[in-house]
Structure 1
Amino acid sequence: MSIQCQFPGVRWIGFGAISYVYKVHRCIVVKVPKSGEFEREQFDRELEIYQIFSRHPPCPSVVQCFFYSDNGIFLEYMRDVSLSARIQNNHIRDCQTRIVTKVEKLEPLSLRKEWINDLAQAVAFLESLNLAHGDLRPENILLDGNRLKLSDFDCAAEIGTNFEACVAPYGRILNGNETDQGQRGTSGFLGPRTEQFALGSLYYLINYGFEVYEDRCLTEDSKEHGPKVVDFLQNMEFPNLDGDPLIDDIIDKCWHNKYATVVELAAHTATLLTYRTNQEGTPPDTTFITQLHMVVCRIINGIWSSFGDWWTLVCQTNGKVTNTEQSNGREPNSNSYNVDQAYLTEDFLSKKAFCQNLEKCELPRLLSSDEPERLGFTLEWHSS
């Protein structure tokens, strides 16, 4: 019996470098690995990250995982395009150079500020687990309407490990003045420096409507544009910032590694949601901004700490339920806790039960057994 006959509601809706994505429910997708050895290794890395996530309180700015197994990761369905596609839909480009000549519209300023803060909170969540995303770029940021969430954790790794997925303008090569961050000519070590730099370039994209230097010709040969951007960033040469002053201040600080931690950055972005310009359109007093920034930073640090303690207490007091690894068919780990006990919501539990049933029917194994076309699927982008 074909997969379509056995599971008539399954649709192939997307793919990435290491995986295929199938819609299995109106609000659930399953991500399965491609067949290559490298792809399988990267998929297993992402599985490890979701195992870590399952032992901690969830972050609302990270795509939610309902269940995972060796061959599939069941995630919430983000119905709309990625941040990359959303921004590019507003571009008018020169046909020859591919330079952005006009941005037809920007997202509302209030929404841009929300997105900026959401991204900071997501990366701060990772940092609280001693992790860096390692591949922060607009293709890995998904949208459901105007809700924005971070996804794709196959490049995530512990802070202090080598930065492998450095792609300009969301990563930069080190110069000779940054020997404490790694060897010159490399991407250096993952940590607050690399994550806030990527966020700075994402914030530039969100606030200006195009990537860094995407609005100008830097070389006569368009093929040399990318390498020139790499050189500029290595030499800390950035475009002028003349947009919203509060956002520009954050971008500049991110590019120049001014935040000691991403949690500190997240405290600063949180203040964007509280500020309102006065009737003359001038920003609030910078002394007040600094003071409020410090207060919010302390509050966020306290929230992460308290939330983690609460999670441990809830999981320990509900110890009758098997741990996350057992519920996913893995060997038990005495240091892990059951994610179900923290959610304790009918909606989450029903979705997890749905995913578990599909796992029992071996859907992820079947979907990962071959390429979608050979299994009889046709790609249906953003199926509703």
Structure 2
Amino acid sequence: MYSELPSCLHSFDVISRGATGWVFQIDDEIALKYTRKDRLDEFQKENAIYDLLEEHRAPPTLLQSFLRLPGINFMPLMAGTLDQRINDNQRRDYQKARCLEVLKLEPTQKIEQWAMELSGAISWLASIGLAHGDLRPANILLDYQDHLKLADFDCASDIGSDHQGSAPPWSRMLGPEAGLKRGTYGVYGAESEQFTFGVILYTITRGIVLYEEDPPGAVLLLQEKIFPPLSDGHLDRIIDRCWKGQYGSLAELAEEMASLVGAKATQATLLDDEHVDKMHWRCTHLLATKLSAVLVEPVNTEKVDKVANN
């Protein structure tokens, strides 16, 4: 498993392994995402998205980055993922990847807080012309104050571009209503993103992924717009509107989520510039010392030593 990795990374705990990279815990504040073999192009696409996020001063609901180089991204260490949180509230058969029992549901106001944060994140991305492209609980992180952070931007795509599809239920193949586009995933936009938001909100409110028991069958059920019954509660009404594409824009969705009671909880804040600068130089020093073997390109060690000694 570790054969593709520099030996200097073997002593660090693996947080996750995704399609484009491994994530390691470097210390109590820093995580490192490192490219997988032969996936550098995709990895660099995500780094370029982070450049864009910084240029536009992204809100605190999107994960920040301390330092990026080819094949490398240092980020703040998070408490876990929304996917892990959901699974921790279940009794699961991990061999069959199936929930046996939901043991606990999150408080309504916590769900409302997350709904506000997630809708705000995807609405902000849309405001700069982007769709996340891979919305699902595994790509949604939780910090140590239990605020939501959207992460993993390697699939980010332009609004209006062809939707590449995701494993069910995180995207919907279009049905008869789409005419000649039936059987495709359409394009990235308000309709596709709010649909997935609705699926995520359903998953959080029920404590189990929509149609988890039958992923192959989920494709047809979603295509035919066959959804499980919903209540008349306010969160279920939001889910229903999302599945039916009734929000005219993601800004409209975010505005409604911001009016929920739980949205009035303590707001997340961006890491201040002084802290980000401090972490940047710590990461640079790591690359000049014990993590030098991870570099795809050499780092200016003279500059690092000068900063480290100040």
TM range (shorter): 0.7 to 0.9
1:90 Cα deviation from its structure 2 partner: 2.2
**TM-score, length basis structure 2:** 0.83
Q: 1:102 to 1:10 in 2, by over 3 A?
A: closer
The partner residue of 1:184 within 182, 192, 198 is 182
Cα distance in 1 for partners of 2:121, 2:263 equals: 21
Contact 2:116 2:263 in 1 (8 A): no
Contact 2:112 2:262 in 1 (8 A): no
The question of 1:54 aligning with 2:48 is answered no
Contact 1:174 1:184 in 2 (8 A): yes
Cα distance in 1 for partners of 2:105, 2:18 equals: 27
The partner residue of 1:232 within 221, 232, 236 is 221
Cα distance in 2 for partners of 1:97, 1:46 equals: 32
Counterpart amino acid of 2:155?
Answer: C
1:203 Cα deviation from its structure 2 partner: 0.2
Contact 1:204 1:251 in 2 (8 A): yes
Q: 1:204 to 1:171 in 2, by over 3 A?
A: same
1:166 Cα deviation from its structure 2 partner: 2.0
Contact 1:71 1:364 in 2 (8 A): no
SS of the residue aligned with 2:276?
A: helix
1:43-72 per-position Cα deviation (integer Å, ceiling 9, x unaligned): 121112111112011211111111211121
The partner residue of 2:243 within 255, 262, 277 is 255
Structure 1 residue aligned with 2:202: 204
Cα distance in 2 for partners of 1:210, 1:346 equals: 40
Contact 1:78 1:144 in 2 (8 A): yes
**TM-score, length basis structure 1:** 0.68
Cα distance in 1 for partners of 2:113, 2:51 equals: 28
SS of the residue aligned with 2:67?
A: strand
1:229 Cα deviation from its structure 2 partner: 1.2
Percent identity, please: 34
Q: 1:99 to 1:78 in 2, by over 3 A?
A: closer
The question of 1:17 aligning with 2:19 is answered yes
Counterpart amino acid of 1:183?
Answer: K
The partner residue of 1:33 within 29, 32, 35 is 35
Structure 2 residue aligned with 1:317: none
SS of the residue aligned with 1:25?
A: coil
Structure 2 residue aligned with 1:107: 106
Cα distance in 2 for partners of 1:352, 1:196 equals: 35
Cα distance in 2 for partners of 1:240, 1:12 equals: 39
Cα distance in 2 for partners of 1:120, 1:265 equals: 7
1:85-127 per-position Cα deviation (integer Å, ceiling 9, x unaligned): 2112222358998764531110111111111111111111211
1:252-299 per-position Cα deviation (integer Å, ceiling 9, x unaligned): 1111111121111111111113799xxxxxxxxxxxxxxxxxxxxxxx
1:151-162 equivalence runs, <5 A: 151-162=151-162
Q: Which has the larger radius of gyration?
A: 1
Cα distance in 1 for partners of 2:124, 2:280 equals: 23
1:173-322 equivalence runs, <5 A: 173-179=173-179, 183-214=181-212, 225-242=214-231, 245-273=233-261
Cα distance in 1 for partners of 2:42, 2:54 equals: 19
Q: 1:45 to 1:362 in 2, by over 3 A?
A: farther
1:361 Cα deviation from its structure 2 partner: 5.0
Structure 2 residue aligned with 1:325: none
1:185-240 per-position Cα deviation (integer Å, ceiling 9, x unaligned): 011111111111110000001111111134xx6xxxxxxx2222111110111111
Cα distance in 2 for partners of 1:131, 1:3 equals: 37
Structure 2 residue aligned with 1:66: 66
Cα distance in 2 for partners of 1:110, 1:364 equals: 45
Cα distance in 1 for partners of 2:40, 2:282 equals: 25
The question of 1:78 aligning with 2:6 is answered no
Cα distance in 1 for partners of 2:220, 2:76 equals: 39
Counterpart amino acid of 1:88?
Answer: N
The unaligned stretches of length 5 or more in structure 2 are 1-5, 265-269, 298-310
Cα distance in 2 for partners of 1:256, 1:165 equals: 18
Matched length: 286
SS of the residue aligned with 1:178?
A: helix
Counterpart amino acid of 2:260?
Answer: L
SS of the residue aligned with 1:355?
A: helix
Counterpart amino acid of 1:91?
Answer: Q
Q: Which moved more, 1:164-173 or 1:350-359?
A: 350-359
Structure 2 residue aligned with 1:117: 116
Structure 2 residue aligned with 1:356: 284
Cα distance in 1 for partners of 2:103, 2:94 equals: 16
